[in-house]
């Protein structure tokens, strides 16, 4: 191994970012509870409403807070392959070996859920053949394409992290594939050094 060779690329759930989000979301309920505590006899409804909203926020963020406390691994690129951790849509963690990976892509797309207007998320996906065979939403943490590409090139034999097209429907289930456009495949066919 060369002295200047890249190390394993890892991204873990950020404690600082999660704390900041929870604090920002809690400002209004805490303010309402503070107003209620100033004169509990007449403003008790402020306290009750604030307490209810705070309990709801903590319940919604319970899984993310637990993941941040454990510093859960979200993505790793190493000599064994690519590890994609669980995401907010409930897709399970999985590891793909380099023999099953043609390239790694990052892209934006709307996850197909019951919501009529889903928000677009950033994703990391694994390409095999002409399709993205699995992907994970990476909303909420920074994905360093340069460092990830260096690790993929070092460990995977010249498989860079490419930018895939935008997809307006990304399956929520991990086992559905996303077909890549022929023109994108033609333009990026030489991405892997065999």
What is the chain's length? 194
For tokens 């928000």, the residue is 119
- The residues near 92 (Cβ < 8 Å, ≥ 6 apart) are 86, 174
Mean pLDDT per block of 10 residues along the chain (194 residues) reads 64 83 89 85 86 89 83 88 87 90 91 72 90 85 84 82 91 88 86 44
User: How confident is the model at residue 141, as a pLDDT?
Assistant: 64
Distance CA 175, CA 126 (A): 12
Predicted local confidence at residue 11, as pLDDT: 85
Give Dmax (Cα) for the chain: 75
Contact 10, 83 (CB under 8 A): no
The pLDDT assigned to 4 comes to 54
Give the pLDDT score at 194. Answer: 37
Say if CB 126 and CB 104 are below 8 A apart: yes
The Cα 110–Cα 155 span in angstroms is 30
- DSSP string over 149-188: HHHHHHHHTS--EEEPPPEEEE-SSTT--EEPPHHHHHHT
pLDDT at 34: 87
Q: How many whole angstroms separate alpha carbon 114 and alpha carbon 110?
A: 12
Residue 133 in contact with residue 101, Cβ under 8 Å?
A: no
Q: What is the structure's pLDDT at 14?
A: 80
The per-residue pLDDT for 66 is: 83
């Amino acid at each position: 191994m060369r002295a200047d060779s890249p190390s394993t690329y890892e991204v873990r759930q950020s404690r600082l970012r999660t704390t900041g989000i929870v604090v920002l979301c809690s400002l209004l309920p805490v303010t309402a509870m503070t107003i209620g505590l100033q004169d509990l006899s007449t403003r008790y409804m402020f306290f009750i409403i604030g307490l209810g909203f705070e309990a709801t926020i903590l319940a919604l963020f319970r899984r993310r807070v637990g993941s941040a406390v454990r510093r859960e691994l979200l993505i790793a690129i190493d000599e064994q392959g690519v590890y994609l951790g669980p995401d907010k849509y409930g897709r399970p963690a999985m590891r793909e070996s380099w023999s099953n990976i043609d390239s790694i892509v990052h892209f934006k797309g709307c996850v197909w859920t019951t919501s009529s207007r889903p928000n677009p998320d950033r994703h990391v996906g694994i390409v095999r053949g002409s399709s993205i065979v699995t992907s994970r939403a990476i909303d909420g943490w920074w994905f360093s394409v340069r460092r990830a590409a260096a690790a993929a090139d070092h460990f995977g034999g010249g498989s860079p992290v490419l930018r895939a097209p935008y997809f307006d429907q990304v399956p929520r289930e991990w086992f559905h594939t996303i077909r890549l456009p022929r023109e994108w495949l033609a333009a990026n066919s030489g991405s892997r050094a065999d």
